[in-house]
């Protein structure tokens, strides 16, 4: 029983440590964007394709839900609780490492933008794919997007339904 508790604590601490590192990277890039991009013209990195451009996003994905900070915070908080539940339920076997990494990445992205919403009342975006006029985004958005794609691939092609049955217990 004590060994189970110790293993659970190790699992939680390692996941939290990785998530904190990812969060710090996200927040540092946003700090740099505020410091070097706010109030300035866009900086092309690859002319006509990719540039750094400062934007204060007071909504969610693609600027939706503008001014609905309380709703966005509530939904994010519930999603974070769900991710913690999933992470804790995941078996310790190596087979589930990709799923654990995906949950940590998703969690880190959600936390990164939630910190912005709480501390700044907006999310700092600064990455712009000009060639396709894609909405401006940030590092936390990259985490969420990569994790969502990975999750779809893992569920569709890697794990069988019976391998995920531990969620039913």
162 catalytic residue (yes or no): no
Structural domains of the chain, count: 1
125 catalytic residue (yes or no): yes
> CA 169 to CA 89: how far, in whole Å?
9
Segment among 7-11, 119-123, 125-129 with least mean pLDDT: 7-11
pLDDT of residue 146: 98
Which stretches does DSSP call E strand in the chain? Answer: 43-46, 50-57, 123-129
Residue 103, burial from CB neighbour count under 10 angstroms (0-12, 13-18, 19+): buried
Collapse the DSSP code of 132 into the 3-class scheme (helix H, G, I; strand E, B; otherwise coil) and give the result: helix
Which whole number is the average pLDDT over 77-93?
94
**Among the options 116, 133, 141, 162, which is catalytic?**
141
pLDDT of residue 93: 93
**Among the options 26, 116, 125, 133, which is catalytic?**
125
CA atoms within 13 A on the CB side of 122: 14
pTM above 0.75, yes or no: yes
């Amino acid at each position: 029983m004590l060994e189970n508790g110790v293993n659970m604590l190790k699992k939680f601490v390692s996941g939290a440590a990785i998530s904190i590192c990812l969060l710090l990277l996200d927040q540092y890039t946003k700090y740099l964007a505020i410091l070097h991009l706010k109030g300035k013209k866009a900086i092309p990195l690859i002319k006509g394709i990719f540039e750094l451009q400062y934007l204060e996003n007071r909504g969610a994905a693609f600027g939706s839900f503008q001014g609905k900070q309380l709703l966005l915070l509530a939904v994010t908080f519930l999603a974070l609780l769900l991710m913690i539940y999933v992470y804790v339920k995941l078996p310790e076997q190596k087979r589930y490492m990709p799923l654990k990494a995906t949950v940590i990445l998703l969690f880190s992205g959600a936390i990164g933008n939630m910190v912005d919403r709480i501390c700044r009342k907006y999310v700092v975006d600064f990455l712009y794919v000009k060639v396709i006029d894609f909405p401006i985004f940030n590092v936390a958005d990259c985490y969420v997007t990569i994790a969502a794609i990975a999750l779809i691939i893992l569920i569709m092609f890697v794990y069988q339904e019976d391998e995920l049955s531990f969620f039913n217990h």
